[in-house]
Amino acid sequence: MAKLLEGKPIAQGLKESLKYQVQCLNIKPVLASIQVGENAGAVSYVKSQRQAAENLGIVYQMYKLADEITKEELVSFIQELNSDTSVHGIIIQMPLPSRIDYKSLSQFILPEKDAEGIHPVNIGKILFGQSKVLPCTPAAVMELLKETGIDLYGKEVVVVGHSEIVGKPLALLLLDKFATVTICHIGTSQAGKLEEHVRQAEVLIVAVGKAGLIKGEWIKDSAVVIDVGINRIGDKIVGDVEFEEAAKRASWITPVPGGVGPLTVVMLMRNVVEAAKL
């Protein structure tokens, strides 16, 4: 039976360290959070970000912008925050109105203030092993892997999902540890090859957003399983992996909720602290 790989205890340790780092700075780091419209989807994220920030001594500045704001106005607001030297990190809350493309917005935040680590420059630096700020979810996954004590060198690691903010940057971070990385995506599934790849995985990381996509019986004996997926089924939240069955085979498995989630917000704060140090 797998050991539970829970995010909260790891997050706690990292928070202690960040709190100390903030105390050692002679300024209070400031995170500016931009929300467009009455965004119900962002409410719980904003609440947990504010709480995490304030507990660490980071100032959380909330900017609620009108629902009808144009992309140009939003960009100009971001640029104001870019030139405000009292602001160290900027985050744009999702979801945005459908007429505003989030991907094209991330490039307008100064790379030095990119709290989410998703600016093309910061993503590009990962390729060269030089990035100081990492995208939050991939960074959270790397912290979880560290906790298992697994040596990734030469391991068969399968990442399911190839989004710009999770799967792709994560694959680069894993390559940096000399893992043998396979990235699966919709094409892999449509070619009927997902099961074959998952069965090979000594470490499996799934970030898709489809409940039950990964069958428990596909999990290799003693594999480490990290389930990033978040799916609402009625009043329950589940991941992408069939948990019960997978837990019988894996050596470690993240619960959903309670695995990756609690660490993601800490990684956001770590980026803000790094930005403040600069």
Residues near ligand NDP (CB under 6 A)? 137, 160-163, 165-167, 184-186, 188-189, 194, 207-210, 213, 228-230, 260-261, 264
Contacts of 25 by beta carbon, 8 Å cutoff, 6+ apart? 273, 276, 277
Q: How far is the CB of 205 from ligand NDP (least distance, A)?
A: 10
Comparison of 155 and 162: residue with beta carbon closer to ligand NDP: 162
Contact of 177 with 215, CB cutoff 8 Å? no
Comparison of 87 and 173: residue with beta carbon closer to ligand NDP: 173
Comparison of 132 and 185: residue with beta carbon closer to ligand NDP: 185
Q: How far is the CB of 79 from ligand NDP (least distance, A)?
A: 26
Residue number with the shortest CB distance to ligand NDP? 209
Comparison of 90 and 226: residue with beta carbon closer to ligand NDP: 226
Exposure string of 27-39, with b = 16+ CB inside 10 Å and e = fewer, is eebbbbbbbbbeb
Q: How far is the CB of 169 from ligand NDP (least distance, A)?
A: 10
Q: How far is the CB of 218 from ligand NDP (least distance, A)?
A: 13
- Quick count: other Cβ atoms within 10 Å of Cβ 149? 8
Q: How far is the CB of 58 from ligand NDP (least distance, A)?
A: 19
- Residue where the block lists tokens 């704001």: 69
Residue 208's closest CA among 191, 227, 225? 227
Contact of 5 with 34, CB cutoff 8 Å? no
